[in-house]
A = this chain, B = another copy of it.
Amino acid sequence: MSKKKEFVRDITNIDEDFAKWYTDIVIKAELADYTDVKGFIAIRPYGYAIWENIQNYMDEKFKKCGVKNISMPVLIPESLLNKEKEHVEGFAPEVAWVTIGGGEKLEERLCVRPTSETIFSTMYSKWLNSWRDLPFLYNQWCNVLRWEKETRPFLRSREFLWQEGHTIHETAEEAKQFTMQMLDIYAEVVEDLLAIPVLKGQKTQKEQFAGAEATYTVETLMHDGRALQGATSHYFGQNFTKPFEVTFQNREEKQEYAYQTSWGSSTRLLGAVIMAHGDNRGLKLPPKVAPIQVVIVPIAQNKGNVLEEAQKMKAELSKKFRVELDDRSNYTPGYKFNHWEMKGVPVRIEIGPKDIEKGEVIITRRDTLEKISVKMEELAPKVEKLMQDIQENMYQTCQKRKEEKTTIAKNMEELEKNLNENQGYVKTMWCGSRECEDKVKEVTGAPSRCMPFEQEHLSDTCVCCGKKADKMIVWGRQY
């Protein structure tokens, strides 16, 4: 067992320094690596395979709602970015500018897209004529750049991969409904695929997207009780369609500005998976999103027919699951156990000469580390059942944490105390003023997470100013 201890010692203890533990996992589980340019990461095959699973799941759901994929230019002229006032104020400070192309200084500098509302709006104004053309339900999977000061793999990279959906509609009502429909897909992705329960609600005006009329969010809670914004969906009203002149002839044959939405989710979700589920042995992947669901480790693989049986087992299980057989001859089984635990593979199967004799194998669950002896002929259904159990158990573990770490505060002292002792979500009443929101952030370091859709009446007064309040809000320190 000495090897295992050593290996574990290689990563920082999760409860001692969670931030350092996090970056250790990113590197050790081979999810991503640093590159020569600060804030730009290389997403390695294992990390990218998780992203592909998220993409496939989400893309199918988008398409079922009639969304179509397209591709817009990566560069945006400065004049376009400047068209919507709040938007440019929000994004201009953190863009990267291309100033030279083909050896010549450009007449107008071009920014690498930080998001593409401006360019979608420009093209929509070109493509839209009549109410009969609507809605436009378009999405793109691409890279964007935001020149963050502090960077961290997945969580806050200067470049990240994401999908950005942009739609325009005939009526405000329809656009609002679509905003919520997409938020529901995000909730499904995070809860069903990534096994992380969400808190759904509306962002305050302070925290909403630059240029939006309303921003809706799915919030998640990490191992240490800090929150992470999972994905957001925005309703713009006519904020962009007016300056960009996205008009259509309506049913009364009059010109009208279209109603717009956008919604995005990114490789940040990989950060959420790592931080919501991981432990001191490494990553812990929910079966539904795991690139490798089952790893087979042969014991004494050169003896008798061990390797042959392991190969047969792989062929059999591969019909239903994503399976890897680790038949490397230069590593011990103990090393391999650690390796695949670090990589968070949900189920490990050991097969050796004695197991074959008994017609049994040993299965180890990554989530509980429980070992189970299973008859060979019952293997496939048992693994299938385990996949469901592990997915469910991982969700429930997070759900329990969310419940434990959700508290109520009636005044600033309670709010600060709860956050300091417990992190997590703290529910309070709020008068709705920007002043109080700013003050809470200043005093506690916790921005507002959202005004949950499921409202409760905790008291009659604002947690900060003590004035009359009828809105419940949730606060929490964040990644």
Contact = CB atoms under 8 A, between A and B. Distances in A.
A64 to B, nearest CB: 13
Interface string A51-85: 11000000000000000111111111100100000
A123 interface: yes
Interface of A: 33, 35-37, 40-45, 48-49, 51-52, 68-77, 80, 93-103, 109-110, 112, 119, 122-123, 126-127, 132, 138, 142-143, 145, 147-149, 158-159, 161, 328, 330
Contacts of A143: 71, 74, 142-143
B77 A52 contact: no
B37 A77 contact: yes
Most buried by B among A96, A143, A161, A330: A96
The 8 lowest CB-CB distance pairs between A and B, nearest first, are A102-B147, A45-B68, A40-B73, A43-B71, A97-B100, A96-B101, A101-B147, A99-B99
Contact of A127 (B33, B73, B122, B149): B33
Contacts of A100: 96-97, 99, 109
Nearest to A44: B70
Contact of A48 (B43, B51, B71): B71
A268 to B, nearest CB: 14
Contacts of A98: 96-99, 112
Contacts of A148: 102
Contacts of A142: 143
A336 to B, nearest CB: 14
Contacts of A102: 93-96, 147-149
Nearest to A141: B141
A49 B68 contact: yes
16 contacts: A35-B119, A36-B80, A36-B122, A37-B75, A37-B77, A49-B68, A73-B159, A74-B143, A75-B145, A93-B102, A93-B103, A94-B102, A96-B98, A97-B101, A102-B147, A112-B112
A262 B334 CA distance: 37
A159 B143 CA distance: 13
